[in-house]
Chain A
Amino acid sequence: MIRLIQNEFYKTFRLKKLYIFMAILAVHAWLTVHFYNAGGEWKSVILMPNGQSLPLTLLNSMAQFMTVFIPIYVADLITGEVKTGTLKMSLLRPVRRIEWLNAKIVSLFVFMTVLLVFSIAAEYAIGTLAFGWGEQTLYAGSLYTQTEGVWLTLRLSFSMLLPYMACGMIVMFIAVSATNISTTIGLSIGVLTAMQYLNAFEQLKPYSIVNQMYFFHEYAYQINGEAAAQNIAVIAGYIAVFYLVSAIIIKRKDFIL
């Protein structure tokens, strides 16, 4: 299993896509800063122009990229392997299908973590280059010292891995069911886009994974026990259900490669 995961890492870091996604995130941060410099607050989401506040300012917008990056990556990771037959490189070896799926999930988690870490680092760097590091971190109308600000940034950013992972599991379910890459990408982006409309219904909003992808850090920030538990339960539910269904599909699937 560990070696299978090592293989997945090796392949992931050899993929051009990962670096293209990183470049897109960096360009996005740079454009946000550029538009602020060009037109001030009314042209940008930046409220406190300093390097230490930028990652938290842009945390919401990371979701819009992840809803595209995750389907593209998972389509390549799962459907692509089935379609091109490279799946056989693993399955014709002493590897159980469930181990193969688990290795893919670990790979997806690492992919999301790498993008998240890169985006925080890039936003700190771009923000600092443009405005300087600054004295305090602004988040949700409150000001924090530098140390508190960095800790808050890391805590809230990494908490977002939970909803991203739930999104990844939905896409993974689509990927193991679909027969080609474009179906996986198209259907996943379609489903995730459709889920955004759940936000229009106040009662359904907490159950929308897309809503969680945008705003989970705000729930995590509040540290209100009951509300946080409810949101975590919703996300964990998504992860558990879609993992289970994907595992059953993979186990039963006939690979006509």
Chain B
Amino acid sequence: MGNKILLEVRGLTKTFGSKTVVDRLNLRIEEGDIYGFIGTNGSGKTTTIRMITGLVHPDAGEVRIGGFHLKSQFKAAISLVGAIVENPAFYTYLSAYDNLKLTANLLPGVTRKRIDEVLEIVGLSDRAKDKVGTYSLGMKQRLGIASALLNRPKLIILDEPTNGLDPQGMKGIKELIAQLAAEQGISFLISSHLLHEVEQICTKAGVIRKGKLIAEGEVRQLLASGEETVEIVTSEPDKAEQLLRSASEVISVSRSQDQLIVRTNGDCSFKLNQLLMTSGVHIRTISRRPRTLEQFFFDITEGDGER
């Protein structure tokens, strides 16, 4: 497509003491992307985001936002971004409206009308005059997004946006992200360890492990690549299992009565079907199990880290 690059991170490195938390990380987000930044807790996601937003100084590497160098052109670069890092923080003794007014004061061209607009977008208009101290976590997240929207950013960075939310709150935030991306053309960088969430809303994903980006691409492509799981139900499970185990594409076969779960190293359900058919095995059903991001993640990280 050749979309414009909004965020480009090159060779980003950060060491705390003797521990390298982020290691020569490269990242690229184009206009229109909803980029899921996946990793286990402690994998370096938040530190990367802190470096991208200038809260933490990298030991090496550079960050460019909309072509502006974050270090030398900080104001121009950060003006293109709206961000919630870790948790949305507000003055709890002030109302949501007053908090947004304080933020708007720091942004050239943001009017009172815009404050009303963003409150409307996140559905907080009727609670705008209430003190933030009375807000639930979900409402604070929404207010955080409202604050991030004030300057009409091209890129919104959200660090674990659904952390601590109840299912309804999670659903609300996901819908809001999808709506903003579709209606306002805003790109997103969303860090999360909730893989299902990323799979649902992101168009691209990058996997970080021990500070290194170990996989990156469009979510569809990531799910289409690598291993595949095929589920076969047959009246001759012993014979089928024996045949499948001898096939070169098959990685493993697990069995539960007359159902076989076959892990293969590629798109080969058709071949397995043929193999069993030509050997006279009666197949009741054969289906490909759609690969989830969770499976993909565990495949490439070998399931390490705390979750």
Interface string of B89-133 (1 = CB under 8 A from A): 111011000110011011110000000000000000000000000
Interface string of A25-65 (1 = CB under 8 A from B): 00000000000000000000000000000000000000000
Question: Can you sample 28 A-B contacts with CB below 8 Å?
Answer: A3-B106, A4-B106, A7-B102, A7-B105, A10-B102, A11-B102, A14-B94, A15-B93, A85-B87, A86-B89, A87-B89, A89-B91, A89-B99, A89-B102, A89-B103, A91-B54, A92-B54, A92-B55, A92-B78, A92-B83, A93-B106, A93-B107, A93-B151, A94-B107, A95-B106, A254-B55, A255-B50, A256-B56
A92 pairs with B91, CB closer than 8 A: no
A83 to chain B, nearest CB (A): 10
Q: How far is the CA of A86 from the CA of B91 in the complex (A)?
A: 7
Which listed residue, B57, B74, B83, touches A252 by the CB 8 Å rule? B57
Q: How far is the CA of A6 from the CA of B75 in the complex (A)?
A: 19
Q: How far is the CA of A23 from the CA of B78 in the complex (A)?
A: 42
Q: How far is the CA of A256 from the CA of B85 in the complex (A)?
A: 10
Interface centre among B74, B81, B85, B106 (most CB of A within 10 A): B106
Number of interface residues of A (CB under 8 A): 26
Interface string of A223-257 (1 = CB under 8 A from B): 00000000000000000000000000000101111
Interface centre among A89, A93, A95 (most CB of B within 10 A): A93
Q: Which residues of A contact B86 (CB under 8 A)?
A: 85, 257
A94 pairs with B74, CB closer than 8 A: yes
- Which residue on A lies nearest to B104, using beta carbons? A3
Q: Enumerate chain B interface residues (CB-CB to A < 8 A).
A: 50, 53-57, 74-76, 78-79, 81, 83, 85-87, 89-91, 93-94, 98-99, 102-103, 105-108, 147, 151
The answer to whether A255 and B102 touch (CB under 8 A), given A86-B90, A89-B89, A92-B78, is: no
A88 pairs with B91, CB closer than 8 A: no
